């Protein structure tokens, strides 16, 4: 599936408004955040990605035309600014990123513009009408999905968008949603054989291993000499003795642990196998619930561990996963059918692209593109690091 269709797919319509903005810019505003404000993502860093600056291009020059509707280089760069802003690109690096990486990234904007223009034109030709009430409902839904602490106007200002542009994008996207629904209404549902085959071929997605909830006290000894290690181990042994005699685990952790988890009484939450360093994992999973471990040595130092809860491994049955699999397979079939429909529109369209700009389209960054949710019995936890190293003395 091409990059621009992923942007226009119904599941991504709301996200795309704040990620890039599907309509052509009406002007060429700056996407720079207000003074003193940083981008929400804040982690984007182009250091090491930038090479020699690309040759300057006249912003008024036409980049691509679709059935008489044109996108200029300047308009494409505004769309790129919105995309980069949504990914957290710092304002001070924006011009440099565009100057040096713009040519390779414009291919993605071209594909998005071509796809969205074809779909919008077809939806208008089919006379799919969108009421003001539908626009306001979609806008309200979009607002509820903003990150906590972010209001819509701030997000739009950061990306150089106006409320009028957003309402226009929503109206266009709602038309495309109705076009999608019309074109895929007769796509057959997944058969029982297809559902069963998917379940059997993806068995690992429906299995969940044993997990435990645990807390620990760490006496740090990372990179310590033998004398310091002996001292740390002795302290850990003394704390373990207090725990066995009935001392409060959370209180001792808060007062003595060198792990940041001390703030939570030593709690590491819930985790499965493969998430902690081997010695820690082996000791923790061997413990009975509420038992106090012997002192355990790892590269971080010496630990006293207590398992406070345990969840046995399980597998989601085909019956339990049936509806979820059916929905996913139906979505795949509909998307494939709609992609074929779009390719038909493309074949009939007159598309002219500036030859100097023709380059492989840049693949969407994970920060912008929304991948389909993994079909699992429960979302797979992110890899958890081993217990943190002791804080600096």
pTM of the prediction? Answer: 0.56
User: Is there a single domain that holds both residue 222 and residue 265?
Assistant: yes
User: Is there a single domain that holds both residue 150 and residue 225?
Assistant: no
Domain boundary among 150, 184, 218: 184
Average pLDDT of the chain? Answer: 79
Q: Is position 196 within any domain?
A: no
Least confident interval from 55-69, 100-114, 352-366:
352-366
Q: Is position 110 within any domain?
A: yes
Which CATH number do you get for residue 153? 1.10.4030
User: Is there a single domain that holds both residue 178 and residue 242?
Assistant: no
Residue 360 pLDDT class (50, 70, 90 cuts): very low
Q: Are 207 and 313 in contact (CB under 8 A)?
A: yes
Residues 6+ apart with CB under 8 A from 81: 30, 31, 94, 98, 159, 160
User: Is there a single domain that holds both residue 147 and residue 83?
Assistant: yes
Burial 341-368 (b: 16+ CB within 10 A, else e): bbeebeeeeeeebbeebeeebbebeeeb
Helix (H) or strand (E) holding 304: strand 301-311
Domain boundary among 311, 336, 371: 311
Whether the per-residue pLDDT at 386 is higher than 60: the answer is: no
User: Is there a single domain that holds both residue 70 and residue 124?
Assistant: yes
Looking at 69-122, which runs of residues are DSSP E strands?
Answer: 69-72
How confident is the model over 38-53, as pLDDT tens digits?
333 334 444 444 444 5
User: Is there a single domain that holds both residue 168 and residue 264?
Assistant: no
Domain boundary among 311, 339, 362: 311
Q: Is position 13 within any domain?
A: no
Q: Is position 282 within any domain?
A: yes
Output the CA torsion 248→254→260→266 (10° steps): 10
Domains in the chain, number: 2
Q: Is position 258 within any domain?
A: yes
Q: Is position 35 within any domain?
A: no
* Percent with pLDDT over 90 in the chain: 53
Structural domain of residue 133, as residue ranges?
Answer: 62-184
Whether the per-residue pLDDT at 61 is higher than 90: the answer is: yes
Q: Are 20 and 12 in contact (CB under 8 A)?
A: no
User: Is there a single domain that holds both residue 144 and residue 255?
Assistant: no
Output the CA torsion 137→139→142→144 (10° steps): -70
User: Is there a single domain that holds both residue 219 and residue 105?
Assistant: no
Q: Is position 156 within any domain?
A: yes
What is residue 44's predicted lDDT score, i.e. its pLDDT? Answer: 42
Q: Is position 83 within any domain?
A: yes
User: Is there a single domain that holds both residue 125 and residue 212?
Assistant: no
Backbone angles phi, psi at 370, to 5 degrees: -95, 115
What is residue 234's predicted lDDT score, i.e. its pLDDT? Answer: 96
What is residue 208's predicted lDDT score, i.e. its pLDDT? Answer: 82
Which CATH number do you get for residue 218? 3.10.50.40
User: Is there a single domain that holds both residue 163 and residue 249?
Assistant: no
What is residue 296's predicted lDDT score, i.e. its pLDDT? Answer: 96
How confident is the model over 152-194, as pLDDT tens digits?
888 788 777 789 989 999 999 999 999 999 999 999 999 999 9
Find where tokens 């209001």 sit.
151
Residues 6+ apart with CB under 8 A from 176: 8, 10, 13, 116, 119, 120, 123
How confident is the model over 206-238, as pLDDT tens digits?
888 889 999 999 999 988 999 999 999 999 999
Q: What is the DSSP letter of 55?
A: P
How confident is the model over 314-336, as pLDDT tens digits?
888 999 999 999 999 999 999 99
> How far is 253 from 250, CA to CA, in rounded Å?
5
What is residue 87's predicted lDDT score, i.e. its pLDDT? Answer: 74
pLDDT greater at residue 49 or residue 272: 272
Residue 368 pLDDT class (50, 70, 90 cuts): very low
**CA distances (Å), origin 150, targets 18, 83, 170, 329, 337:** 12, 17, 20, 35, 37
How confident is the model over 64-101, as pLDDT tens digits?
999 999 999 889 888 888 788 777 777 778 888 777 77
User: Is there a single domain that holds both residue 102 and residue 177?
Assistant: yes
Residue 370 pLDDT class (50, 70, 90 cuts): very low
What is residue 314's predicted lDDT score, i.e. its pLDDT? Answer: 85
User: Is there a single domain that holds both residue 145 and residue 237?
Assistant: no
What is residue 54's predicted lDDT score, i.e. its pLDDT? Answer: 58
Mean pLDDT in residue range 378-390: 34
């Amino acid at each position: 599936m091409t990059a621009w269709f992923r942007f226009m797919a119904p599941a991504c319509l709301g996200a795309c408004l704040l990620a890039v903005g599907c309509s052509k810019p009406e002007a060429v505003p700056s996407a720079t955040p207000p003074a003193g404000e940083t981008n929400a993502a804040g982690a984007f860093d182009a250091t090491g990605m930038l090479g020699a600056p690309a040759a300057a291009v006249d912003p008024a020059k036409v980049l691509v035309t679709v059935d008489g509707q044109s996108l200029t280089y300047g308009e494409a760069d505004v769309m790129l600014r919105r995309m980069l802003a949504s990914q957290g690109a710092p304002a001070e690096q924006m011009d440099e990123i565009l100057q040096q990486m713009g040519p390779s990234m414009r291919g993605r904007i071209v594909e998005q513009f071509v796809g969205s223009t074809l779909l919008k034109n077809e939806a208008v030709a089919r006379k799919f009408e969108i009421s003001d009430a539908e626009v306001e409902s979609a806008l309200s839904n979009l607002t509820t999905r903003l990150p906590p602490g972010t209001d819509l106007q701030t997000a739009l200002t950061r990306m150089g968008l106006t409320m009028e542009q957003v309402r226009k994008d929503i109206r266009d996207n709602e038309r495309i949603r109705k076009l999608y629904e019309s074109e895929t209404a007769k796509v057959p549902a997944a058969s029982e054989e297809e559902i069963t085959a998917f379940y059997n071929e993806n068995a690992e997605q429906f299995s969940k291993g044993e997990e435990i909830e645990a807390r620990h006290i760490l006496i740090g000894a990372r990179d310590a000499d033998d004398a310091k290690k002996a001292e740390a181990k002795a302290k850990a042994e003394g704390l373990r003795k207090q725990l066995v005699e009935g001392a409060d685990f959370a209180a001792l952790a808060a007062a003595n642990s060198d792990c940041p988890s001390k703030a939570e009484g030593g709690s590491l939450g819930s985790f499965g196998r493969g998430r902690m360093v081997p010695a820690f994992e082996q000791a923790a999973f061997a413990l009975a619930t509420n038992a106090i471990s012997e002192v355990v040595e790892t590269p971080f130092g010496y630990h006293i561990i207590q398992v406070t809860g345990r969840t046995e491994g399980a597998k989601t049955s085909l019956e339990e996963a049936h509806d979820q699999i059916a929905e996913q397979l139906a979505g795949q079939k509909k998307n494939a059918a709609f992609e074929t429909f779009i390719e038909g529109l493309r074949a009939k369209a007159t598309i002219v692209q500036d030859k100097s700009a023709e380059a492989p389209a840049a693949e969407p960054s994970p920060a912008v593109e929304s991948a389909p949710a993994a079909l699992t019995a429960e979302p797979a936890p992110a890899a958890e690091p081993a217990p943190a190293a002791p804080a600096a003395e």
